[in-house]
């Protein structure tokens, strides 16, 4: 079965262009140009990926993303007219997986769509075949920190901590590779499915994570900065 993509965009020409190009790639395509209609479609059809415009009638893309994120885990790629870093950060906070700024080339968009779908497939395959360092009970324990992979739950001193989906995935990726210096590029590719990014997405998420799991976020002991490379999880 080809992946199902929901496009949410109120500019008719862009919507039609996206629909045409995605169908040409063999994807099954659903479209909506109104926030509430999009929500209904997403609930009904559970698309494998959602392309989501920010400025929409009915309900803006951020609000829609926030609601969708609680209900489905499919990647959400936001489309925005603003190259604004703030917009990008808000998008990541509400749970978007990737971000593309208008005007974009169709080639770039298709590459990002493909990367997101590939990332989901790899993660699913990894869940089916657990990697060596994951114990049978699917729990990773580092001192007072416990990551329950199946339940997607993090406990600090036995208290559950609320993590955004990407914060959890990032922590899990770092923890599974404990003691190894991981480059920002590798982290981006494995956690977000991106192959390049000039922003500080990884750094921002590491900062958020440190604020939650480090006793002293400014003097990190768990997630160590590796100069010129990226980060290393120490446990």
**Cβ pair 122, 114 in contact under 8 A:** no
Q: Min. distance of Cβ 227 from Ca ion in angstroms?
A: 41
Region near Ca ion per CB under 5 A, out of 10-18, 33-41, 68-76, 194-202 = 10-18
Q: Min. distance of Cβ 82 from Ca ion in angstroms?
A: 11
Q: Min. distance of Cβ 50 from Ca ion in angstroms?
A: 15
Beta carbons within 8 Å of 200's beta carbon, 6+ residues apart: none
Pairing of strands 28-32, 76-80: unpaired
Q: Which of 4, 10, 181, 200 binds Ca ion (CB under 5 A)?
A: 10
Residue nearest to Ca ion (CB): 55
48 binds Ca ion (CB under 5 A): no
Q: Which of 33, 41, 53, 220 binds Ca ion (CB under 5 A)?
A: 53
For Ca ion, give the closer residue by CB, 56 or 202: 56
Query: How many residues bind Ca ion, per CB under 5 A?
Result: 3
Q: Min. distance of Cβ 79 from Ca ion in angstroms?
A: 8
Q: Which of 14, 55, 72, 181 binds Ca ion (CB under 5 A)?
A: 55
The interface with Ca ion within residues 160-219 (CB under 5 A) comprises: none
The DSSP code for 233 is: E
Region near Ca ion per CB under 5 A, out of 23-31, 45-53, 60-68, 155-163 = 45-53
**Cβ pair 172, 149 in contact under 8 A:** yes
For Ca ion, give the closer residue by CB, 55 or 141: 55
Pairing of strands 230-233, 223-226: antiparallel
The DSSP code for 217 is: G
Tokens describing residue 211 = 């604020």
The whole-angstrom separation of Cα 163 and Cα 148 is 12
Q: Min. distance of Cβ 55 from Ca ion in angstroms?
A: 4
Strands (E), the chain: 4-8, 28-32, 49-53, 76-80, 98-101, 139-142, 145-148, 153-156, 159-161, 182-183, 223-226, 230-233
The residues binding Ca ion (CB under 5 A) are 10, 53, 55
């Amino acid at each position: 079965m080809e992946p199902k993509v929901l496009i949410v965009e109120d500019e008719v020409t862009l919507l039609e262009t996206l629909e045409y190009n995605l169908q040409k790639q063999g994807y099954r395509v659903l479209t909506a140009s109104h926030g509430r209609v999009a929500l209904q479609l997403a609930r009904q059809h559970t698309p494998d990926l959602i392309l989501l415009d920010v400025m929409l009638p009915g309900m803006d893309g951020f609000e829609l993303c926030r609601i969708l994120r609680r209900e489905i885990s499919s990647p959400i790629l936001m489309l925005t007219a603003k190259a604004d870093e703030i917009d990008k950060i808000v998008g990541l906070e509400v749970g978007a997986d990737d971000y593309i700024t208008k005007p974009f080339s169709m080639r770039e968009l298709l590459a990002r769509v493909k990367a997101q779908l590939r990332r989901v497939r790899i993660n699913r395959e990894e869940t089916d075949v657990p990697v060596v360092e994951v114990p049978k009970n699917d729990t990773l324990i580092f001192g007072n920190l416990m990551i329950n992979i199946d339940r997607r739950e993090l406990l600090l001193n036995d208290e559950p901590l609320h993590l955004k989906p990407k914060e959890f995935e990032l922590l899990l990726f770092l923890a599974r590779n404990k003691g190894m210096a991981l480059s920002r590029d590798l982290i981006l590719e494995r956690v977000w499915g991106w192959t390049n990014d000039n922003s500080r997405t990884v750094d921002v998420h590491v900062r958020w994570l440190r604020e939650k799991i480090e006793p002293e976020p400014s003097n990190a002991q768990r997630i160590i900065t590796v100069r010129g490379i990226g980060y290393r999880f120490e446990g």
